[in-house]
Structure 1
Amino acid sequence: MDLPASILTLQRTDRWVGAPLCAILTLLRRIFESAGRPGPRQVQRILFVKFAEQGSTVLAYPAIRRAIKMVGRENVYFVVFEDNRFILDTMEIIPNGNVITIATKSLFGLAAGALRAVLRVRKIGIDAVVDMEFLTRFSAILTFTTGAKSRVGFHTFFGDGPYRGDLMTHRLLYNPHLHTSQMFEAMVESLTRDPSVLPTFDFTPAANQPLAGFRPSLSEVAEINALLQRENPRIGSAPLILLNPNASDLLPLRRWPPLRYVQLARRLLERYSDLFIGFTGAPAEAAPNNRLADEVGSDRVIRLAGKTTLRQVLVLYTRSEILVTNDSGPAHFASMTPIRVVTLFGPETPALFAARSPNATALWAGIACSPCVNAYNNRQSVCRNNLCMQAITVDDVFEKVTHIYDSLKRSTSGN
């Protein structure tokens, strides 16, 4: 997601403007909001709030399904930053018209978009909001101002995280030992409980949750094959491994040293004479990614960064054998397809954020300072030298990728 306002600016605004606003709204809530009747509350329309990180939206799939089971598909809504609605449209889990977007062209535009979103939500008559952001004040403020009678969100009961007032009716503890997708599902489940007993409630999320799926049309597959043929006429139906060198700007510490992708590509091409390597990335990443592709020095490398839409990237995954990527959105997008995914973790832990697909493999060095970003520190870190990512060697990744690829070849030849 490319925000004109820097991530640091947004975090500072959330802290210095959001904290006092949360305090004021908390005071108003205590004056004007009644406690409500004891027991679970009737819910007819559910709104999810998850502004950024499309990968987390994929992880929310089981929670959205749970909400649909409760109130019906047509009564489930989602508020998201405009640049991040793509994955919701691709998942096709709720009606497109139920996705409410907020533009992020500037801080003023962000505030104006949030106001429009709140007004629309009030007009719809949403009676339950699930705030899936990790202890941010902006999402808590928006959730409260929707006027929904039931509001689910994380609460810091003992000052164990960023202050964001007391704006939720269904206050939950953020559980750092529960996978994010399971935590999201628990948030929806809490709507069936009496708010007065929370955060304690007897719900055990399923270990095997349903996964979002993506099925391209035949014309989309043909379009991707034509793109590959155009970029490298030699590829034909040859096997393809994708490398995604750049993580999102949301957290640069996630990046694996770029030249290691070059070294990995060379070793894979040397080992497998029939293999092609594709370098993928967003348009803003095209120039550096293309330089990496050129540095490999092989005519079996395809430069794909900036040449596909996000939807075409998912189609490309269905054509490819393996994706190697930093911990970022593509790892979760790929989990919606049959491709095998090797995800490199460092500042965050795969125990909470790894894709849930059985085709996903996480590599994590597990050094003493990792993970260093979490919900409690607003996903900020004092680290300026991501040793956790540097500790993952080319040998580590090469060994994992070749093991997966050899297994794929054996299963194909066995058929």
Structure 2
Amino acid sequence: MQRLQRADKLLGALAFVAVQPLRWLRDRAESGHDPARVLVIKFWGIGSIQLLTPAVECLRRRHPDARLELLTLDQNARFAAGLGLFDGVRTLDVSGASWPRLLSRIVGLIARLRRERYDLVYDFEFFTRFSAVVSLLTGAPRTRGFSSPSVWRGGIHTETVPFNRYWHVARNFRCLAGGENGVAVQPADVRAFEPTDADRAELDAVLIGAGLQREGALVVVNPNAGSLSLERRWPRERFAELVTELIRVDGARVVLVGAPGEREWTGGVTALLTDLPSGRFANLCGELSIGALHALLARAALFVGNDSGPMHLAAATGAPTIGLFGPETPHMYAPLGPRVRALYEPPPCSPCINVHDNKVSSCIHGRPECLMNISVEAVTGEARSQLKRNSLRTIDERRAE
């Protein structure tokens, strides 16, 4: 992921210059009719796609008769389809590819997109040059994206909306979709993924295989953060202390989750756990599909995790959610849900991540002091408060009332 960030920054300006003739030709074309085919671009961040859902609902109202498709990375396809918001999902696979192979895939993607003859493209990437160039190369007569005085995107988009760094990201998304109404996005505006019976059956099989008991509050913990910014991770030893406390003192069942590529980091948490009661803990990192993960979140009495995609997914399902923030501010990225709590104890240098620089941390301490300010006691106390408030009921039980 970081190599793609560097390529976008270094090669993006050259790409902008190369495609300027296409921009001039595009700007001379007629584009006055109502769009029949609309493409939404959001490549990176499953959590960002979750926060995009209120904006997509807005697009549905704005273009009620249009076919609405999403272009995203291959790894996000199942999640995006499960939201039930798009008429189609198109993908780009960037995993494990050499630069020549990746370039070949991009060329093939552009050819397929041009054949679709989109009328309008919404580029919901913040300031990546790649998504702006793809928007132009689709051949759509109208493209719409974010603008900022501090980031040059080559004048690619025919319509731009200023990105407001004082608003939550979901509100910025909705503004780009043309739905700004002067108020913040509400939790009820967020569309959650709906797991299927097959997803729930998969989860049951995994939990049985892991030997997890059926009694006790189910707490889901994500000690990971996406590779876009690993500095968002609370220390592993603190997660281990939290897990131990919730199991030994509170009698909870704790499940660790994460992506397959995060097994090593999550395993580091597991290695610090000793003498836990049998059947009260399971490390399911890399073991669950996106559907089974949502089935798990639907049963959870509590979710605790770093500022990450699973945090946003948990909040959207309605699970009581505690998000740990440091390099990024919850002012922009707080989880949106009916039962959420963002823990944030920032020193003067936080936040050091911003969307204008591809969310690359500029930490001056060598380790995130902002996250070190969040104590195990603070997280444990908030976890107990959430568990008590919800009387150890699962989301499914609360929804049935």
Shorter-chain TM-score above 0.5? yes
Residue 263 of structure 1 deviates from its aligned partner by 0.6
1:283 is matched with which residue: 260, 265, 275? 260
Residue 346 of structure 1 deviates from its aligned partner by 1.3
Does 1:130 find its partner at 2:122? yes
Give the 3-state SS of the residue equivalent to 2:347 in structure 1. coil
Partner of 1:310: 290
1:260-299 to 2 correspondence within 5 Å?
260-273=238-251, 275-297=252-274, 298-299=276-277
Give me the whole-angstrom Cα distance separating, in 1, the residues matched to 2:26 and 2:226: 42
Give me the whole-angstrom Cα distance separating, in 1, the residues matched to 2:259 and 2:45: 15
Give me the whole-angstrom Cα distance separating, in 2, the residues matched to 1:16 and 1:140: 15
Give me the whole-angstrom Cα distance separating, in 1, the residues matched to 2:28 and 2:100: 33
Q: Show CA shifts across 1:60-98 (max 9, x none).
A: 111111222233476001111112223202212213xx2
Q: Show CA shifts across 1:292-315 (max 9, x none).
A: 235322022222222222221111
Partner of 2:216: 238
Q: Which runs of 5+ in 2 are unaligned?
A: none
2:354 is matched with which residue: 354, 367, 374? 374
Q: Residue type matched to 2:55 in 1?
A: A
The answer to whether the Cα contact below 8 Å between 1:103 and 1:109 also exists between their aligned partners in 2 is no
The answer to whether the Cα contact below 8 Å between 1:58 and 1:87 also exists between their aligned partners in 2 is no
1:337-376 to 2 correspondence within 5 Å?
337-376=317-356
Partner of 2:9: 15
Give the 3-state SS of the residue equivalent to 1:295 in structure 2. coil
Give me the whole-angstrom Cα distance separating, in 2, the residues matched to 1:63 and 1:284: 30
Q: How many residue pairs get matched?
A: 389
Give the 3-state SS of the residue equivalent to 2:282 in structure 1. strand
Name the TM-score, length of structure 2 as normaliser. Answer: 0.89
1:80-229 to 2 correspondence within 5 Å?
80-95=72-87, 98-104=88-94, 105-156=97-148, 158=149, 160-161=150-151, 163-189=152-178, 203-204=181-182, 207-208=185-186, 210-229=189-208
Give me the whole-angstrom Cα distance separating, in 2, the residues matched to 1:84 and 1:388: 30
Name the TM-score, length of structure 1 as normaliser. Answer: 0.86
Give me the whole-angstrom Cα distance separating, in 1, the residues matched to 2:84 and 2:107: 26
CA separation of 1:335 and 1:13: change in aligned 2, threshold 3 A: same
CA separation of 1:183 and 1:294: change in aligned 2, threshold 3 A: same
Give me the whole-angstrom Cα distance separating, in 1, the residues matched to 2:183 and 2:105: 34
CA separation of 1:123 and 1:218: change in aligned 2, threshold 3 A: closer
Residue 173 of structure 1 deviates from its aligned partner by 1.1
Q: Residue type matched to 1:108 in 2?
A: P
> % of aligned pairs identical?
28
Give me the whole-angstrom Cα distance separating, in 1, the residues matched to 2:84 and 2:65: 11
Give me the whole-angstrom Cα distance separating, in 2, the residues matched to 1:250 and 1:368: 23
Give me the whole-angstrom Cα distance separating, in 2, the residues matched to 1:359 and 1:261: 21
Give the 3-state SS of the residue equivalent to 1:172 in structure 2. strand
Q: Show CA shifts across 1:15-63 (max 9, x none).
A: 22110221343365347632868xx763222111111101100111111
CA separation of 1:214 and 1:143: change in aligned 2, threshold 3 A: closer
Q: Show CA shifts across 1:285-334 (max 9, x none).
A: 23442342353220222222222222211111112211111111101221
Give the 3-state SS of the residue equivalent to 1:148 in structure 2. coil
Q: Residue type matched to 2:89 in 1?
A: V
Q: Show CA shifts across 1:364-396 (max 9, x none).
A: 112211111112222223324211111111111
Give me the whole-angstrom Cα distance separating, in 2, the residues matched to 1:32 and 1:401: 54
Residue 109 of structure 1 deviates from its aligned partner by 3.1
Residue 203 of structure 1 deviates from its aligned partner by 4.7
Q: Show CA shifts across 1:85-114 (max 9, x none).
A: 23202212213xx21111112333333232
Give the 3-state SS of the residue equivalent to 1:402 in structure 2. helix
2:367 is matched with which residue: 382, 385, 394? 385
The answer to whether the Cα contact below 8 Å between 2:82 and 2:194 also exists between their aligned partners in 1 is no
Partner of 1:196: none
The answer to whether the Cα contact below 8 Å between 2:194 and 2:294 also exists between their aligned partners in 1 is no
CA separation of 1:337 and 1:363: change in aligned 2, threshold 3 A: same
370-379 or 28-37, larger mean C-alpha shift: 28-37
1:400 is matched with which residue: 377, 382, 385? 382
Give the 3-state SS of the residue equivalent to 2:132 in structure 1. helix
- How big is the alpha-carbon RMSD for the aligned residues of Structure 1 and Structure 2? 2.5
Does 1:66 find its partner at 2:43? no
Give the 3-state SS of the residue equivalent to 1:141 in structure 2. helix
Partner of 2:308: 328
Give the 3-state SS of the residue equivalent to 2:221 in structure 1. strand
Give me the whole-angstrom Cα distance separating, in 2, the residues matched to 1:315 and 1:373: 32
CA separation of 1:110 and 1:335: change in aligned 2, threshold 3 A: farther
Give me the whole-angstrom Cα distance separating, in 2, the residues matched to 1:353 and 1:136: 19
The answer to whether the Cα contact below 8 Å between 1:102 and 1:110 also exists between their aligned partners in 2 is no
Partner of 1:46: 38
